[in-house]
Structure 1
Amino acid sequence: MLTLSVMLGIVQIIAASHTESLQRGYRWTASPRDEQVEPLRGVAGRLNRALRNFVETFPLFAAVVLVAHVTDTHNALTEWGARLYFWGRVVYVLLYAAGVPLVRSLVWNVATIGIVLIVGALLLS
């Protein structure tokens, strides 16, 4: 699931970058980007915010997964935690891109619970 989560991050980077370039124009993309710009709107803004959120949560997920691996802590909690994180993040970015409120926040909690489950497995081992 760690590798799949890295791949998800790469897809999010590409999607956010591409939609931003479409909104701002490729001339801006190729520029040094020194000037102030308007905030991104619509899908481009939502994908950018979803990416920022991924960047906030992924280091925590990666850290606990790597600690679980190094300490040979592999059980149902770590497996479910990793799956909840990955699939929660997949659904989260899709809901965010579509502009779905509330449910998106609930799904964010699913991914976060995944991290908590792995932490719990580490504490119980």
Structure 2
Amino acid sequence: MGASVPMELKLLLAAVIIGLVQIVWAAAAGSGGERDFAWLSGPRDDPRPVGTVAGRLDRALKNFLETFPLFAAALLACLAAGKLGSLTLYGSALYVAARALYVPVYAAGISMVRTLIWAASLIGLIMVIVAFFQ
């Protein structure tokens, strides 16, 4: 068999799974009410309101989509440059753990904790970037 897969790549795939869960969760929360099946399966030319939690889930997804490409690019650059190590491992773990916690905390409306969790995910991303330049 081939060489073992670095834990950082497993964490990258864990982040992909978190993103997929967010997509499904936001879509499910955004259905119902004025957003009936006909509207959801159509072109959605006329925007329709969503509830509070659905709006939060949508914003959390948008936030994930802002940071995930940066995380993936930084981690893959470290892999390609042979820079994987404790900094990329702990940074990746911090990013993934924080992103997993961010969504339910945001959905629950816990503002200050949500911001601290977001900051932790950003610190994890920065750790991966710093590892590249060491």
Identify whether the pair has TM-score above 0.5, normalized to the shorter chain: yes
Q: Name 1:112's counterpart in structure 2.
A: 122
Q: CA RMSD in A?
A: 1.1
Letter of the aligned partner of 1:88 in structure 2?
Answer: A
Which runs of 5 or more residues in structure 1 are unaligned?
none
Question: For 1:32, which of 32, 40, 43 is the aligned residue?
Answer: 43
Q: Contact conserved, 1:88 with 1:111, CA < 8 A, in 2? A: yes
1:53 aligned residue (38, 55, 63): 63
Of 68, 72, 76, which aligns to 2:82? 72
Q: 1:94 aligns with which of 95, 104, 107?
A: 104
Identity of aligned residues (%): 41
TM-score, structure 1 as length reference: 0.93
The structure with more helix, counted as a fraction of residues: 1
Match of 2:51 in 1: 41
List runs of 5+ in structure 2 lacking aligned partners.
1-10
Count matched residues: 123
What is the distance in 2 between the residues matched to 1:123 and 1:30? 47
CA contact (8 A) 1:21 1:28 kept: no
8, 17, 22: which is aligned to 1:7?
A: 17
Q: CA deviation at 1:42?
A: 1.4
